[in-house]
Structures are given as structure tokens and as C-alpha cells.
Amino acid sequence: MTNDSTSLYRRHRPGSFEEVVGQQHVVRTLRNAVEQGKVHHAYLFVGSRGTGKTSMAKILARSLNCERGGPTTTPCGECESCLTIAGGTSIDVIEMDAASNRSVDDVRDLRERVAYAPARGRWKVYILDEAHMLTKEAWNAFLKTLEEPPPSTVFVLATTEAHKVMPTIADRCQRFDFQRPSLEQISEVLQRVAAAEGIEVEDGAVAMIARSASGSFRDALGTLDQLTALGGELVGLDTVLELLGAADAELLFEAVDAVVAEDPKGVLLGVERMARSGRDPAQFARDLLAHLRHLLVTQTVGEVPNTFVVTATDPDRLAAQAAAIGAATLVRTIDELAAALTAVREGDDARMAVEIALLKAARPDLDPSTEGLLRRIERLEQGAGGSGPRVLSRDEGGLAVEDDRDPPRPTPPAAEGPPVDSPSSQAPDDTAGTDDPSASEPGDPPAGGAGVGVSGQARRPVVRPTDSGREARASGEQPSARQDTPTPATGPAGQLDLEQVARVWPAVLDHLRESAPALAATFEGARPVALDEDGLKIGFPASSTFNKRKAEAPDKREQVAEALEAVLGERLRPVYVLLEGEAAGGDPGAEKEVDEEALVERLKSEFDAEEVG
């Protein structure tokens, strides 16, 4: 490692067009201009800090004034002109900081010097850094000189805020936009400089430095310079974390896992581990935000992009986590963290802001805002309303029953009309050896009341068609519309019925999540409600009108049909309807009464309320 006290980013500035990393559109244009003798009199270099604007201006100056064959696209870097330009001491290349020399008097002094011919080289080059800082009066004084400069004079205006440059100035310049370097390009420069300086840097440390540089070569090399002062010629990941206060990958993965599991305790413990390690909570939030963006991109494109390999220590784990987290949860977490960082910039305590953001993401019911209230009401509708989703499970008889994971509901009053079939009402020879899937099986709950599953939890009754309904279907006739006992909608004889479809509906959604995760998210709260010759009717909650419209797109409908065919082995046409709070297949009045009572209980429990009046 050299003992030169000059900073790394100054010592390793590119000296020729071949050494420039990235910005190929700028390099190609300037090289052609030098080779063809068509150098413009004014250039406007626009880009964020540390992207190489000043370095490119000096390369242009060296190419024009190299004593060995200049103008040339390959300056030697050894002649007096090249060395003085690189060192900033050339009398023909004038660097001017417009942030501190922004007045009319400064520009007038510049105009006087422009009139003199080059002293040693062939060209005079004026480099104005932060050009947007010049006052309006200074720009007006400079306008005529910029438009008609003396021969062999080039102006290079460098700025990070092009919109502040007067349009009359920008119109007289050739503009080049410098792009932010990618993580791979920053890593390439870091590894090249480390090799030249004899510094050993771990791969994980290079990735962390590149990520912390935020698209700036200068910041990356400045950090490496600081790390060598801290840890010597061996730079490890622990040293980088100690210096930057950045969160390592394990903390980021654990934080997202806690949000996915809706585990508030895990969230707080993860923040505590981060705080004990001495890392900055605000930097942790920024790193986590970048990690969530990686998850969002991976989830959208279906694979881990190559650009993430530099920062992702475990691409397989990144892909698995992207598949595990729901799209809505992912976007909500990004929103909450972005809001937390804004609050930190305004003076809020960083750790508390991060904790609250992650708690809101993991537990929407803890969010006191209007959006959080809407999410809580939506969960209530899904869990208690007739139009909400049910969790399907199997009892000992292999039947699909709906699991009310809330306090048991009161037994609904018995509906008028013929009794629903039950094992006790069937004749022995009626059920023996029958192939009818709707026939009673062992373990069926008694009709007319809430059944009890194996676990003892309350179960909704599985309604069976009457004998007359089965006979009508067997003969190809439709049951009478005046029949009092509700029957599930079925397809043609020998094919699927609604109960079979409902039983495998979770598997259909799982298949859809694998093939189209964004589309699967729109079916939250939806369920099959009828099956007839028109197709499979899928009911959406009344509050999910937007999701219904999205699912009705022809390409989305085709994806759902393919998922149904993959699971059921039969192609069904999905038809979407909105549910108005009545349970399909039951007595509307009785079901509504039960749902209202259950909803009141859920509201009292969820909002810690009490019933009055």
C-alpha cells in the first residue's frame, strides 16, 4: 500500500477515455469529436455527484493538449501538459467553482481572461463546477462570451441540477447526461483500486461499500480510503458494518420474516438486536427499504435479477422470501418505512419510528389511521360476513367443512319446509353402495344446526340435496324452483358439483399464486358460490368491486380458468358476481340474522367496544 497522502478518488481518477467505467455514450461522442476535429465550444455535463463529470472534462482537456500527438483520444499521461492538468496546475485549464464565484464581477474577470490565447497548449479549457449556482445577472453577463468564444476555447459546465441552468445558456451547449453507475460498475472500480493499492477486501465488504455509495464513485472510494485507515490493508465485512452502521443481510431477512408471520414480538426483538449491535436505526430502515425493493422486483419478474447478485448474499433465500410475502403486505411495508424515514428527517426518534412502521406492517389492526381502520373492517367482513372467505378443513369423514375460527355462533332457527337429509333420516339401503357424492357419509354433522368437528370447534352445516333433487338430476331434470330446501348448484350428472369445487378452492388459489401472484391477491375474500351450465360463479365481497373488475379482464379470466383446469382436471369458465351479505344455499333471512349477531360480537372484541341501547 502506497504512503501517498492524496485521497484514493483523486489518485485513481481515470486519465483517458479507455479508463472510464460506464458513460459510454459520452465517451463515444467526445472521442469522435476529438478524432474528427469537431470539438464544440461549450458542453453541459449533467449528473448526480460522483458520476465523473469533472473527470471527463479533464480527460477532454488532456486529449486536446497532450504534447505527444495531441489532439488525441489516447493522451500519454506523462508529458508536462498531462501532468499539470491532472494536478490542477495547468494555466490553460482553469477550474472555477461557481458556488463560490457566482457574482457578476467573477464572470467579468473570466471574460477578460478568455480573450488571451493559450499559453502552452493548443486549447484553453474552462471547467465550471456547480454551474447552476451562478446568479441570473452573472449568466446574462456570460451569455455573449459563451455564445461566441475566442478560437481554441472550450467551456465545460458541470451541474447536478440542470433545471436551474438558464434555458438560453443550455441552448448554446451540447448536453450530456451522466448516468448513475450500477453496483457492478462501482464494485469493479473498488476491486481495481484495491488491487492497485495492495488492499485485500472481502467480497461481502465490496458489496456493502458499493451499496452505501448510492451511485457515486467518489463516495465509494472515499469509504474505502476511510476503511484502510481504520482496519489497515485487510478490509472485512465486520469492519464495513462497524464504520457504516449498516444492517447485515441476516437482520434484513429476519425483519421481513417477522412481518410475513405477523409477529409483533419478533419485529421488536429484531430491532433490539439491531440496536444492540450499534447500528443506526435510520440506516437500518434505508437498508431494509432497499431489501424490500429487491423483493418487489423479484416477485414481479419471477426471478432474482443479476443486478442483485452483488448485494444479495443468498439469492435463493431472496427468491423464497419474495414468494412468501404477499404483494399487499410488501407494498404496505414499503409505504410504512418510507413514511418513517420522512418522520426521522423531521426530527422523530429513529428507533421508535422504525419500530412503529414495522409493527403497522406486521399488524394492520394496530394502525390507528383511516387506512388501518379500513383494513380492520375488511378483515371483519372476511371473517364474519356471509360474503367473506371461509377456511376449509376436513372432518373425520373426509368432508369439506367451513371452520369459523371465531367465537361459536348461535344455532340458527330451523328453516320451514322439508327436513334436510341426515344419516338418521336415510334408509339403510338408500346409502349403501351409492355413487352419489352428495350421499351422507360417516361424520356428517346433523342437519339444522351447527355441527361439531373433530377439534370441537363450531362447524357450519353441510347442506345436502333432498331425494327429489337427486332424482331430478339423475333424470336430467331441474329441481322445482319452489322447493323449500336449498340445494347446492351442480353441473351435469357425473361431473363436478359446488361442494367439490369449494373443497379444492384453496388449492386453486395456491396454484394461482405460483403462476400469477398479483392476480391471486385480487381473490382475497372471494369464494365459489354456484356451478351451472354458465360456468363457475365466484363471489366477491361487496367491498371488493375493484378486485372484481380487475379479474374480469380477458387475460386474467383465462389464467383463472387454467388454474381451475390444472387442479380440477376440468375446464370451467369463471363468472364473477358481487355478494350482498346473503349466504349462498341458505335461507337469506336466517343467515343474515346470524351474521349480524356474530358481527356485533366481532366488533366488540376487535374495537374493545360495548353495546348500548
DSSP string for residues in 44-57: EEE--TTSSHHHHH
Q: Is the separation of the CB atoms in 447 and 464 below 8 Å? A: yes
Q: What pLDDT, on a 0 to 100 scale, did the predictor assign at position 382?
A: 55
Other C-beta atoms lying within 10 Å of the C-beta of residue 427: 8
The average pLDDT across 412-434 equals: 41
Calpha distance 137→118 (Å, rounded): 28
Listed range (190-204, 341-355, 386-400) with the worst mean pLDDT: 386-400
Mean pLDDT of the region 491-495: 45
Mean pLDDT, range 552-564, rounded to an integer: 88
pLDDT at 365 over 80: no
CA-to-CA separations, 306 to 291, 514, 569, in angstroms, rounded:
15, 21, 37
Per-residue pLDDT at 380: 65
Q: Is the distance from CB of 417 to CB of 477 less than 8 angstroms?
A: no
Q: Quick one: cell of 487? A: 340445494
- pLDDT given for residue 531 in this prediction: 87
Residue 524: pLDDT band with limits 50, 70, 90 = confident
Using a pLDDT cut of 70, give the percent of the chain over it.
72
Q: What is the mean pLDDT of residues 443-458?
A: 39
User: For the chain, which domains are there?
Assistant: 23-177 (3.40.50.300), 183-244 (1.10.8.60), 249-367 (1.20.272.10), 388-412+452-478+486-613 (3.30.300.180)
Cell 330451523 locates to 414
Residue 232: alpha-carbon gap to chain centroid? 38
Element (H, E) at 207: helix 203-212
Alpha carbon 485 to its chain centroid, in Å, reads 50
> What's the pLDDT tens digit per position in 212-261?
887 889 999 999 988 888 877 788 888 887 777 666 778 888 999 999 98
Give the integer Cα–Cα distance in Å for 368 and 267.
Answer: 18
For the cut 50, the answer to whether the pLDDT of residue 470 exceeds it is no
d(CA 368, CA 371): 8
Do 259 and 358 touch, CB atoms closer than 8 A?
yes
Strand order, beta sheet including 93-97: 93-97, 124-129, 153-159, 42-46, 174-177
CA 390 to each of CA 531, 568, 592: distance values in angstroms, whole numbers, following the listed order = 18, 20, 16
Would you state the pLDDT for residue 370?
A: 64
What's the confidence (pLDDT) of residue 268? Answer: 92
pLDDT at 457 over 50: no
What is the per-residue pLDDT for 581?
Answer: 54
Assign 414 a pLDDT band (cuts: 50, 70, 90): very low
Lowest mean pLDDT, pick from 152-166, 359-373, 520-534: 359-373
Q: What is the mean pLDDT of the chain?
A: 76
Q: Cell numbers of 220, please?
A: 465509494
Contact between residue 304 and residue 295 where contact means Cβ atoms under 8 Å apart = no
Could you say which DSSP state residue 432 is in? T
3-state secondary structure 119-183: CCCCCEEEEEECHHHCCHHHHHHHHHHHHCCCCCEEEEEEECCHHHCCHHHHCCCEEEECCCCCH
User: Is residue 388 scored above 70 in pLDDT?
Assistant: no
Q: Which helix (H) or strand (E) holds 535?
A: strand 535-540
Q: Which residue carries 479533464 as its cell?
A: 58
Q: How far apart are CA 488 and CA 475, in angstroms?
A: 17
- Of 587, 585, 597, the C-alpha closest to 416 is 587
Q: What residues have CB less than 8 Å from 464, skipping those under 6 apart? A: 420, 421, 422, 438, 440, 444, 447
Percentages helix, strand, coil for the chain (3-state, rounded to 5) are: 50, 10, 40
Mean pLDDT of 282-291: 89
Tens digit of each residue's pLDDT (9 = 90 or more) over 58-102 = 999 999 989 887 788 889 888 888 889 888 888 889 888 887 877
| Beta pairing class for 527-532 and 535-540 | antiparallel
Give the residue with greater pLDDT, 462 vs 105.
Answer: 105
